[in-house]
Chains A and B, each alone.
Chain A
Amino acid sequence: MEPIKTEIVVLGAGPGGYTAAFYAADRGKTVTLVEQNPRLGGICLNCGCIPSKALLHATEILREAKDSAARGIEFVAPKIDLDKLRAWKESILEKLGQGIKGLAQKRGVQVIHGRGHFEDSRTLRVETTEGQKFVSYDKAIIAVGSKPAMPSAFDLGNKRIMTSTEALEIQDIPNDLLVVGGGYIGMELGTVYADLGSNVVVLEAMPSILTGVDPDLVRPVSRAAQKAFKEIRVNTKVLKMATAGKQIKVTMEIDKQQREELYDRVLVSVGRAPNYADLGLENTRVTKDDKGFIKCNPQQQTDDPDIYAIGDVNGGTLLAHRASKEGRIAVEAMLGEASAFENIVIPAVVYTRPAVAWCGLTETEAKQKNIDIKVAKFLWGASGRALTLDRTDGLTKLIIEPDTERILGVGIAGVNAGELIAEGVLAVEMGATARDIADSVHPHPTLSETLMEAAEVFYGTATHTLAARRESA
């Protein structure tokens, strides 16, 4: 059979893959996009960012309604129709999936549905429902993403032990739900189930939930989760799980004491693993790093000069928007431009209640690397907008280089932190100083003012807080 000839083949149609494919097509290349799932969009669209945020939005109403009683507006107990909720969520995914498909068609990107396998450094075999197809390419981009890690000790084949993928389907509302792993996935999905009425217990092996995030940003989240969840147990390890009738018997270790508990469902959210099994990488010169992720240079090029890799398969922070940026860099590198994934600010957002978002240098990182910084912090208790929203559980902080007053990083905890961090990203990317932010007028009353006020805190001139005046300012 005659192979399909293409300049660029992209393997995987997630936010990294389809962005790279579309961008390459926009820059005049012939592009073939290979995706094994019938719906384009990858993990992000099908069982990640989008469905989880849909559910978080839907269930937040439940929480808001409860909180509303204290403000003099009471609702009757809500009725939850899981089938309808699921169908609504599904309709969003379908709309977005169709959208991507339409955009691919309009750009002339050829989409092949099937599993890709590298035959050699220039040929990809695709197993489709209509049999094998061969794609002969000049350059390839691997964008196959990652999947939830499931330690074999927990993998009993019992459907009550779920990963995020199954948890997003909300088969039922379990009475008692155990979340193993207090990272962002566990905390977000724990929030959904807690809102729906489950008694949620989160187990975390490390001393804190959201490991790696600055402790002052985590604090409002822990405080709120301790109220919304049944319990958060840190420094706790799961030793064993076993089927016990319609429940799961979980053996855990807390303070060197073993304890057994029964749960209706367990969500395992202990990390993610790269998806390159059966990809035929052994037939290419692609190599992996010591953590098992694909190794590539700042141009996203692997050790095989014709093959690039972007997104979760490369490890690091597993974020959709990082994959998209890497996809653009890979395409530009192929076009001979001097693009590289260097000094690029990748914001992170955790959609807990309250949300947490940060970008650039964090306080934790500065401490680890022994970088001298000044931190300017504004607590939301003094924000008029936060008070009107009845959400004063937040803070905004700027990480500042002392001599130059340049903003190196921004951290926000609080409602809408994910939207607010965009200004932080722009500030860090543009090399803005605290003075630049302080002197830019922010609309009143909004939460965005907290960035301006934090900058003013740095100079000791914040309107709504009293702080020691900076001597040199």
Chain B
Amino acid sequence: MDVKLPRLAEGVDSGVVVSILVSEGQEIKKDQPFIELETQKAVGSIPSPESGTVSKIHVKEGMEIAVGQLLISISTDKDSAVAKPVMGEQTGVQTPVERPAQTRSAPSPTGFEATSTPQAENYRYESKSGATPPAAPSIRKMAADLGIDLTRVKGSESGGRIVLADVRAYIQRLQQRSFEEAKEHPETGRSATTAIPSEPVDFAKWGPIRRERLSPLRRTVSRRMVESWTTIPKINQFDDADITDLLALRKKYAAAFEKKGSRLTLTTFLLKVIAAGLQKHPRANASIDESNNEIIYKDYYHIGVAVDTEGGLIVPVLRDVDKKNLFDLAKELHGLTEKTRQRKASLEELQGGTFTISNQGSIGSGHFTPIIYAPQVAILGVGQGQPKPIVVKENIAIRTMLPLCLAYDHRVLDGADAVRFLKEIITGLESFPEAQVKLK
């Protein structure tokens, strides 16, 4: 049987093969993990659906693969009882192609015969009544399993109904195109629209060097950062919050929190204050949908917290921050941070964030300009609180000032909105109500 990449979680349709845990000819048991896959920012293993012998591995380490893509073939007892396939010669199986960076869905390997249905390059189904493309439930299910967007497939039947032949033709066209692009750009194997890497430099000319392969996590971080940097018109808004009183409050209750197995950190306060701020400034919690010219407002407040792990940056998400009290938040934050450091956070726990906090205070940072975690529209960069001479009521006082930088997407937020939002956060920190800290 052919094992394809199953659907992993909502919104996750691709990943990078970190390691392959089996080899061809090896026995494999049902539920035995055979591939480690990195999706967005979690690493997980894919278990085998059947017991048998691995007859063919169709992917390589480091390869980017999408839902529905063929991973390995297993010959099971059932297979051999009928007709044992000759290794590498199974009908309908071709080596999968690396997907072009610009298409969202990878072409699935197919053994379909060529059909002549013409496909317009940039076809998109549109219905005034908002209906989805006409297609039988069986075709819709197949498209979902393959990760094919049916609005891109032109139907040939009456009323534009999409039938199997149309989907076949579409997939073949995708595959053909990706081969052609690979031929045109043999050095990258990617489409022309992808950034061309800069000229290689021989660093060894000037001294000894050492090369280390980028880990999949590093590559994911890199890809996402480039994406954010190149697509988002960004503004950085600097300010400071006077956290002298907040620190006193923390000191007063820190022991009580510890006693109950929780840790009252500055980030916990920030979470609470930001959630309240987002409720008043819904655009900072929104996303932009440029293809439909719409802003998507989210009536939930899931805040991501950047965590420094051994492998690199990972951002777990705390859900419904607005609905939780400080104690529960503190406890959850502590647990989730630990889990993330051990790379044990589940995919679900890394998804669905609407805003992100990057707190570098513990490492001693000052002001810095964080990069927005797309498709979110804003991120708060937090440095270390430092005692500073500040004018208070015409006198100079020593107050602990927290450096803050709100980076935001100017497509969604205007300067005035952003300043009001940041001021809201500062006021929240400077006058945090003690009642919210008290433990029952």
Contact = CB atoms under 8 A, between A and B. Distances in A.
B69 to A, nearest CB: 13
B128 A371 contact: yes
Interface string A164-204: 00000000000000000000000000000000000000000
Interface in A263-315: 287, 297, 299, 303, 305
Given A338-B144, A338-B147, A433-B159, A401 B7 contact: no
B8 A401 contact: no
Interface stretch (B33-41, B108-116, B131-139, B243-251): B131-139
B346 interface: yes
A343 B132 contact: yes
Interface in A330-375: 333, 335-340, 343, 361, 366, 369, 371-373
Nearest to A336: B6
A405 interface: yes
Interface stretch (A31-39, A147-155, A415-423, A424-432): A424-432
B129 interface: yes
A8 to B, nearest CB: 15
Contacts of B145: 337-338
Interface in A369-422: 369, 371-373, 401-406, 408
B158 interface: yes
A372 B128 contact: yes
A372 B127 CA distance: 11
Interface string B135-173: 111001100110100000001001111100000000000
B348 interface: yes
B67 interface: yes
A36 to B, nearest CB: 31
B7 A429 contact: no
Contact of B129 (A336, A372, A433): A372
B374 to A, nearest CB: 22
Given A339-B141, A404-B160, A405-B159, A431 B135 contact: yes
A267 to B, nearest CB: 38
A305 B132 CA distance: 28
B99 interface: no
Nearest to A303: B319
A446 B128 CA distance: 34
Given A338-B144, A361-B129, A404 B137 contact: no
Nearest to A429: B137
A340 B136 CA distance: 15
By DSSP majority rule, is chain B's interface helix, strand, loop, or mixed? loop
Contacts of B67: 338
Nearest to A345: B137
A403 B128 contact: yes
Nearest to B348: A305
Given A336-B7, A431-B161, A408 B135 contact: no
B10 interface: yes
A436 interface: yes
Given A431-B136, A431-B159, A433-B158, A336 B130 contact: no
A262 to B, nearest CB: 48
Contacts of B127: 401, 404
A436 B159 contact: yes
A275 B99 CA distance: 48
A361 B131 CA distance: 10
B159 A404 contact: yes
Interface residues of A, number: 33
A299 B7 CA distance: 11
A435 interface: yes
B128 A401 contact: yes
B141 A430 contact: no
A408 B348 contact: no
B79 interface: no
Contacts of A305: 346, 348
Contacts of B136: 429-431
A297 B10 CA distance: 9
Given A337-B6, A431-B136, A431-B161, A373 B129 contact: yes
Pick the most buried of B128, B155, B346: most chain A CB atoms within 10 A of its CB. Answer: B128
Given A287-B320, A338-B144, A432 B159 contact: yes
A337 B7 contact: yes
Contacts of A371: 128-130
A403 B128 CA distance: 9
Contacts of B319: 303
A175 B271 CA distance: 64
B77 to A, nearest CB: 15
Nearest to B319: A303
A371 B129 CA distance: 5
A338 B145 CA distance: 5
A275 B137 CA distance: 32
Interface in A31-79: none
A313 B145 CA distance: 28
Nearest to B129: A371
Pick the most buried of A336, A401, A429, A436: most chain B CB atoms within 10 A of its CB. Answer: A336
A432 B162 CA distance: 11
A435 B159 CA distance: 9
Contacts of B137: 429-430
A430 B134 contact: yes
Contacts of B130: 369, 371
Contacts of A404: 127, 134, 159-160
Interface string B7-34: 1101000000000000000000000000
A336 B161 CA distance: 27
Contacts of B158: 433, 435-436
Given A338-B145, A404-B159, A436-B158, A299 B128 contact: no
17 contacts: A297-B10, A333-B7, A335-B6, A338-B7, A366-B129, A372-B128, A372-B129, A373-B129, A401-B129, A406-B134, A408-B131, A430-B134, A430-B136, A431-B134, A431-B136, A431-B162, A433-B159
Closest 8 pairs between A and B when the two form their complex, measured CB to CB? A431-B134, A336-B6, A338-B144, A433-B159, A371-B129, A338-B7, A431-B161, A305-B348
Interface of B: 6-8, 10, 67, 127-137, 140-141, 144-145, 147, 155, 158-162, 319-320, 346, 348
Given A366-B129, A404-B160, A431-B135, 15 more contacts: A299-B10, A303-B319, A335-B6, A336-B6, A337-B6, A337-B145, A338-B67, A338-B144, A401-B127, A408-B131, A431-B161, A432-B161, A435-B158, A435-B159, A436-B159
Interface of A: 287, 297, 299, 303, 305, 333, 335-340, 343, 361, 366, 369, 371-373, 401-406, 408, 429-433, 435-436
